[in-house]
Amino acid sequence: MVQEAVNATPNNLGPGKFVIRIKTGLYDEIVRVPLEKRNVVFLGDGMGKTVISGSLSVGLIPGMSTYESATVGVSGDGFMASGLTIQNTAGIGAGQAVAFRSDSDHSVIENCEFLGNQDTLYTQSLRQYYQSCRVQGNVDFIFGNAAAFFEDCEILVTPRVLNPEKGETNAVTAHGRLDPGQSTGFVFQNCSINGTKEYMNLYHSNPNLHKNYLGRPWKEYSRTVFLNCNLEVLIRPEGWMPWSGEFALATLYYGEFKSSGDGGNVTGRVPWSNQIPGEHVESYSIKNFIQGDKWIPPSSC
């Protein structure tokens, strides 16, 4: 099993990588990569082929935290993964149910799929890079307080588990920056925001019932930007939604640059969001935002 392989890796590995080859199959287990397991690589056979599956959730398991609900949780720095599906299959009443959680600095995730509903991907802290990944969920399903960069990723809204036809209000992101001095935030570059086929059938049956936004502020200094992203029709003209009342609206930073698609018309955006000037876009590059030129392998970017 995957956890047994993690347990067998050397502690505090130096500059090299320890590759765990995970062959095609369904691995029904909870996996933890602790702090002392550095530079671990999960190498699978592809999305939908190598699948790690769990069903922990806050709503269905007394005393369970969002942090501990993750199917795969990584704390060791330098973690890498490629060619995997990681899912949380918790059902009705689950509430927060994380598929993948990372508080690994310098983590690099390529060609991986994360499936869930509420809180699918928990980018908890530190610097993280996601390339050519697919993230699927509905409520705040990309969240945390990492400095996370998403490049060429597919973001998909999925129907709610209970009574999906009754409608819902979804935020794709909920960034949790606590202090203006923190260098954290979410950057999405050349990504697409859409719904699954099942969700879009629901959406088109009654667009006014099915409302989707790019993000909402989990914490006071929430920061999220979308650069050259394709936003499909499910994204509301307002673009962004409040968390509660006026909370964080004067302190957050939400921005877009050259959004496209039917949801990319920015004329109706909320006044507390921004259109990023061209001369400022470079500050959100891989190099400047997460210092990725120093630690992301050249093949990844």
170-193 b/e (C-beta count within 10 Å ≥ 16 → b): bbbbbbbbeeeeeebbbbbbebbb
pLDDT at 274 over 90: yes
Nearest to 2 by CA among 64, 58, 44, 36: 44
What is 125-295's CATH number, 2.160.20.10, 3.20.20.140, 2.40.220.10, 3.40.718.10?
Answer: 2.160.20.10
CB 178 within 8 A of CB 139: no
CB 50 within 8 A of CB 77: no
User: In the structure, what pLDDT confidence band is assigned to residue 1 with cuts at 50, 70 and 90?
Assistant: very high
DSSP single-letter state for residue 126: S
DSSP single-letter state for residue 299: G
Q: Which residue has the tokens 């259109």?
A: 275
DSSP single-letter state for residue 298: G
pLDDT of residue 88: 99
State pLDDT tens for residues 158-199.
999 999 999 999 999 999 999 999 999 999 999 999 999 999
pLDDT of residue 298: 86
Q: In whole angstroms, what is the distance from residue 120 CA to residue 96 CA?
A: 8
Nearest to 175 by CA among 84, 240, 116: 240
Residue 52 pairs in a beta bridge with: 27, 86
Q: In whole angstroms, what is the distance from residue 73 CA to residue 291 CA?
A: 23
Same CATH topology for 1-111 and 125-295: the answer is yes
CB 105 within 8 A of CB 72: no
Query: For residue 105, how many other CB atoms are within 10 A of its CB?
Result: 19
> CA 81 from chain center: how many Å?
14
pLDDT at 238 over 80: yes
- Compute the average pLDDT of residues 251-265: 99
- Compute the average pLDDT of residues 26-31: 99
| Average pLDDT over the chain, rounded to an integer | 97
Domain boundaries, the chain: 1-111, 125-295
Q: In whole angstroms, what is the distance from residue 266 CA to residue 268 CA?
A: 5
pLDDT at 87 over 90: yes
What is 1-111's CATH number, 2.160.20.10, 1.10.1040.10, 3.50.50.60, 3.40.1190.20?
Answer: 2.160.20.10
End-to-end distance of the chain based on CA atoms, in angstroms?
31
Catalytic site positions: 119, 140
